[in-house]
Amino acid sequence: HLQAHGMFRFWPDALQTMASLEKNDIFQAVEQEERILQMRWNGPDVPIFILPVDERNRKIRVEFGSKSGLAFSDKLFLFLSADLPRSSISAIMTHEYNHVCRLENMPKEEKKMTLLDTIILEGIAEYAVFERLGEAETAAWTSYYSEKQLRHFQDRFVKPHFELRRHDSRLFSNILFGKGHYPDMLGYAVGYSIVKKYLSARNLKVADILSFPSEDFIKLSL
């Protein structure tokens, strides 16, 4: 499960990266980021596991900038490259720790999350990166498509499956990540667009909306 989200697959690579992560004081940098973000969102203190990223994975390199993560309501995994700049550490921590805060505040159990809940979760997390660090640190997929394309994708591919749950069908991950005949990073891109439009229209910050139901965000776009 961790490897599916970006953790290393080759032990020799991992040993070398892990040594470099320690040498480059990445652990201290992550700890400092957590303190900053806890204050920003009144977030919980959760265990953070830092492990080497799978640098042989082209999608991880190109679309995620040689970094990835996996968040739960009570813990956080970061998969990192040894030579990431501090700004990239800030970006991945902002995105993943925001997930922790959203999951803690959501008025729904994690196991009951729908496709709509998930794309809004991802949209809020990446908008948190934009809000804190600017457009330069947002993921590549945030600029793959025009607003016209995103609206079309939302209506045609995503909206009919808003209530789909992760374990219902493979279709969930196909839409979320844009697998098969779906546009690349479809769910992520649509979720980010929905959240960005919602917050801009209402002049709100991420800190204001962590407990909002996912359905609130689509009222502007239905």
Mark whether 7 and 46 lie in a shared domain. yes
Q: Are residues 154 and 80 in the same domain?
A: no
Task: Summarize pLDDT for 47-75 with one digit per residue, the tens.
Answer: 999 999 998 888 888 778 889 999 998 99
Q: How many domains does the chain have?
A: 2
Query: Is 222 within the bounds of a domain?
Result: no
Q: Answer yes or no: do 172 and 101 share one domain.
A: no
Tell me, yes or no, whether 95 lies in a domain: yes
Residues 118, 22: Cα–Cα separation, whole Å: 33
Q: What's the longest Cα–Cα distance across the chain?
A: 50
pLDDT at 221: 54
Angle at 75 between CA 81 and CA 210, to 5 degrees: 100
- Do 211 and 119 lie in one domain? The reply is yes
101 in a structural domain: yes
| pLDDT score for 83 | 86
| Residue 52 and residue 39 in one domain | yes
Residue 63 within a domain: yes
Q: Are residues 212 and 126 in the same domain?
A: yes
pLDDT at 48: 97
Among 60, 87, 105, residue at a domain's last position:
105
pTM strictly above 0.85:
yes
* Residues 181, 133 share a domain: yes
Q: Which domain holds residue 11?
A: 3-105
Q: What would the two tokens of residue 7 be?
A: 């953790």
Please indicate, yes or no, whether residues 59 and 92 belong to a single structural domain of this protein. yes
Please say which residue of 105, 132, 151 terminates a domain.
105
Mean pLDDT by 10 residues, the chain (222 residues): 90 90 92 97 96 89 87 94 92 97 87 94 98 95 96 96 92 95 96 96 96 90 52
Looking at residue 150, its pLDDT comes to: 97
Q: Are residues 17 and 37 in the same domain?
A: yes
Report CA-CA distances (Å) from 162 to 66, 73, 146, 157, 165. 30, 22, 21, 10, 9
Same domain membership, residue 87 and residue 64: yes
138, 129, 219: which is closest to 185 by C-alpha? 138
Q: Determine the residue type at 169.
A: S
> Is-contact 48 76, C-beta < 8 A?
yes
What backbone phi and psi angles, to 5 degrees, belong to 87?
A: -60, -35
Rounded CA-CA distance 27/153 in Å is: 39
Res 220: pLDDT: 66
pLDDT given for residue 71 in this prediction: 95
With contact defined as beta carbons under 8 Å apart, do 150 and 123 qualify? Answer: no
Residues 89 and 120 grouped into a single domain:
no
Judgement on whether residues 124 and 48 belong to the same structural domain of the protein: no
* Domain endpoint, select from 82, 105, 128: 105
Residue at 44: amino acid letter: P
